[in-house]
Structure 1
Amino acid sequence: MPSFTATIMFYTPNYDAAVKFAHDPQHELLIMTGWIILYWVLTCLATRGVKTFSNLAKYGVIIGSLIPLAVMVILAIVWVAQGHTPAIPMTPKGLIHKWNGMSTLALAAGVFFSYKGFVILLIQTITVLYMIYYILMFTAFLRLRHDQPNRPRSFKVPRGMVGTWIVAGVGLLSSAFEIVLAIYPPAQVKSEVGSPAVYVSVILILVAVILAICFALYQLSKHHDWINPDNEFAPFTWEIEGLKKPGKVLSNAPTTVMSEDQNSMEMPIKRPYKPKQQVSEHVVKADEDNKISTDES
């Protein structure tokens, strides 16, 4: 947490104080208390719904990032126009950092997060886990477009499967590249952690432990009666269609229509559908207009 505070201080005019604080943090208990309070305030806001939190994120980016960035750019242009000499030579060589291979790129990624070795390891571990999530998400996107080609959706990537593969391909490659950056030892790893081998090993072990815990919980859930009959989650579409596992179907029934008035997940299916069942255009249109109808005629 002090490292995040130091990062914020670097955005202030008092650069020397920020550097001093980064090397020798003070008032750590007070700082940690402030961050914990902020965390719970944001958590309470998140419980008010997606709309509230999305507005917070939207206006937070505008007020906290875009407007300050615009002001800084304008002030920098005015300052240079007044005849001041920039500290960095305004030449391609001066503006572009010296390239030392992947270690430079990994260092640049790490600078955005922290300055302490242990914190870097935790942040990079979280980064790897997040990217694994995105890889699963893009893979599921491809699978759904292949297995449920006729399923109506509120938004479809244009250009059919070509556009789908382009979007998912870029996402998969970007996520994989970010994992490489997170695992690749940065230039300052020796002073912060000890050695590149320790850096990589700790991240991989942390990722493996977390994934093992998730997999174990998933397996345990299959053998215990953990189902709450009052849960509000509808069954998966492949369960409603009577399949043993997810597979290709040609039905054009919207997911919201299929889920309407069903029993909760893991409970007996109340209104089964067939994998090739077709619904009328006005049902699809009603779903698109958020006027859900269970009329299948």
Structure 2
Amino acid sequence: MAPSAARSPAKNSAKITVLGLAMLNIVAVVSLSGLPAEAEYGLSAAFYYIFAAVFFLVPVSLVAAELATAWPEKGGVFRWAGEAFGGRWGFVAIFLLIAQVTIWFPVVLTFGAISLAYTGPQATLDQKLSGNRLYILLTVLAVYWIATAIGSRGMAAFTRIAKWGGIVGTILPAAVLVTLGFAYLSTGGQSQIPLRWGDVVPDFSRVSNLVLAASIFLFYAGMEMNAIHVRDVRSPSRHYPLAVGIAAVGTMSILVLGTLAIAFVVPQSDIDLTQSLLITFIDVFRWLGLSWAAPVVAVALTIGVLAGIVTWVVGPSTAMLAVAKAGYLPPFFQATNKSGMPTHILLVQAVAVSVLAVLFVFMPSVQAAFQVLSQLAGLLYLVVYLAMFASAISLRYSQPDRRRPYRVPGGLVGMWVIGGVGFVASALALASSLVPPSQIGVGNPFLYIGLLVGLAGLIVTVPLVVYTRRKPHWHDPASDVAPFAWEARGARSGAADTRGRRTNDADE
């Protein structure tokens, strides 16, 4: 569709229920594919999950709830960072969000392809198929393009897929995994990890372990992503924080119990980042004499991957469409279809994912590639979180009188404590993510760090260059994206109101 078609976006009166939004958040956040990596920690994984929930998930949930209800205008993190620090940094934040999810897609889709491979009648053949690179590539591309087609049909279509796909492909398999894992243990099965209280507290002397431990923080990433739908929730000031709270509790429960279930069944030396979850189901079902059920769960997991991909395809790309119409991207990226979905943004992202999938699948070591891409995506996402927490604190000063239907409790001190804890936790996780993991061979550690930093730097440079070269005609006159508060006042970016609190010439 021509860019001009974007000037008449389709109106959508659909509303998302509290349960529906909570499910969207759980599907967006929970990925069972990452559980094997944390199962290596045994009982101490529970400590890391709870620690990360307290110092990362809770701050993210509370701060995102305040920002989303106080600034419900389109744009998500673009709006928040832009209000605090100016349009340039708002654009960088939303660009990094969509870049990290694009990098992450091949990783999670590889898990979906492996899940689908285990739906055959013979386990030996299934295992061979799961290691076939051509099969993985074709499946990854097929699932992603199907998810893109579903997402392009509009919010009503993708929320249904996300809700029911999340139940079938994430909630139910997680419940089965937890039930079977603990049943295996309680009925005499041999636990593959020592069950001593002393093992709950991790060994902090091994610095290399911090890499996989820090990745637990990113297991909770995404809770803020669906903030773009805050206006689609009835009574957002009351229902949005409630939905986030339900999703937070559900997410932590699934991750803790699911990881322990894998640790009980799969020997630590046999844990594989891409196959261990399926192997856990296969082993336990075989132990119960229910081998026929393993392919059923594999199909369900594939459906869960599809639901998660649809959710992540739509959220950031819809936010980027609002940013494009506000004049930050050329008219080409402003094209929409009759459902109001950003067709050209979805297309460009699909091409990028396809190229990355080819590179990922055919790298010499899939596990090493899995780790590098996961860490790069995580690094970018943590930068976005740093911007979010900093914006929330800054906006308490620059826009103190802004109506905030939901506020982080404790006033200004509470925001500094909760937002500050989230900021520090994100910074520490970012720093530790640069340490090469000892559990996975990634080659020369200095080249590994250089590769991550170099790629991250290149990605950050792109939005800075685009912002500098933006043109006046890029702005869509029919755009319904509200100006920043400082733009409405005719002030420079980040400037305080006329009573004068501070000025930040971020755009100068």
TM-score computed with the length of structure 2 as normaliser: 0.41
Please tell me whether the aligned partners of residues 9 and 15 of structure 1 are also in contact (alpha carbons under 8 angstroms). Answer: no
Q: 2:373, 2:137 → 1: CA distance?
A: 17
Aligned to 2:377: 126
Q: 1:18, 1:105 → 2: CA distance?
A: 34
Aligned to 2:468: 219
The correspondence for 1:245, drawn from 493, 496, 508, is: 493
CA RMSD of aligned residues (A): 3.7
- The answer on 1:209 being equivalent to 2:316 is no
Q: Map 1:54-203; keep pairs closer than 5 Å.
A: 54=159, 56-92=161-197, 101-107=206-212, 109=215, 115-188=366-439, 192-203=441-452
What amino acid is aligned across from residue 376 of structure 2 in structure 1?
A: T
Please tell me whether the aligned partners of residues 183 and 203 of structure 1 are also in contact (alpha carbons under 8 angstroms). Answer: yes
Q: Deviations over 1:248-284 (max 9, x none)?
A: 2289xxxxxxxxxxxxxxxxxxxxxxxxxxxxxxxxx
Aligned to 1:278: none
| Compared CA separation, residues 89 and 142, structure 1 to 2 (3 A) | closer
What amino acid is aligned across from residue 72 of structure 1 in structure 2?
A: L
Which of 1 and 2 has greater Rg?
A: 1
The alignment partner of 2:469 has SS state of helix
Q: How far is the alpha carbon of 1:187 from its aligned partner?
A: 0.4
Q: How far is the alpha carbon of 1:3 from its aligned partner?
A: 5.1
Please tell me whether the aligned partners of residues 149 and 250 of structure 1 are also in contact (alpha carbons under 8 angstroms). Answer: no
Aligned to 1:35: 140
| Compared CA separation, residues 139 and 99, structure 1 to 2 (3 A) | closer
What amino acid is aligned across from residue 193 of structure 1 in structure 2?
A: V
The alignment partner of 1:211 has SS state of helix
Moved more, 98-107 or 51-60: 51-60
* Percent of pairs with identical residues: 30
Q: 1:193, 1:90 → 2: CA distance?
A: 31
| Compared CA separation, residues 126 and 30, structure 1 to 2 (3 A) | same
Q: How far is the alpha carbon of 1:168 from its aligned partner?
A: 1.4
Q: 2:194, 2:123 → 1: CA distance?
A: 20
- The answer on 1:46 being equivalent to 2:295 is no
What amino acid is aligned across from residue 237 of structure 1 in structure 2?
A: A
Aligned to 2:323: none
- The answer on 1:4 being equivalent to 2:252 is no
Q: How far is the alpha carbon of 1:93 from its aligned partner?
A: 6.4
Higher relative contact order (CA 8 A, sep 6+): 2
| Compared CA separation, residues 83 and 134, structure 1 to 2 (3 A) | closer
Please tell me whether the aligned partners of residues 392 and 419 of structure 2 are also in contact (alpha carbons under 8 angstroms). Answer: yes
Q: 1:101, 1:54 → 2: CA distance?
A: 43
Q: 2:155, 2:396 → 1: CA distance?
A: 26
Q: Deviations over 1:199-229 (max 9, x none)?
A: 10100000111111221111111x6643333
What amino acid is aligned across from residue 32 of structure 1 in structure 2?
A: L
Q: 2:161, 2:498 → 1: CA distance?
A: 40
Q: 2:491, 2:198 → 1: CA distance?
A: 61
Unaligned ranges ≥5, structure 1: 252-297
Count the aligned residue pairs.
Answer: 244
Q: How far is the alpha carbon of 1:57 from its aligned partner?
A: 4.1
Please tell me whether the aligned partners of residues 6 and 21 of structure 1 are also in contact (alpha carbons under 8 angstroms). Answer: no
Q: How far is the alpha carbon of 1:198 from its aligned partner?
A: 0.7
| Compared CA separation, residues 230 and 69, structure 1 to 2 (3 A) | closer
Q: How far is the alpha carbon of 1:73 from its aligned partner?
A: 2.8
Please tell me whether the aligned partners of residues 238 and 246 of structure 1 are also in contact (alpha carbons under 8 angstroms). Answer: yes
TM-score computed with the length of structure 1 as normaliser: 0.66
The alignment partner of 2:433 has SS state of helix
The alignment partner of 2:406 has SS state of coil
Q: 2:479, 2:200 → 1: CA distance?
A: 57
Q: Give 1 or 2: higher helix fraction.
A: 2
What amino acid is aligned across from residue 147 of structure 1 in structure 2?
A: S
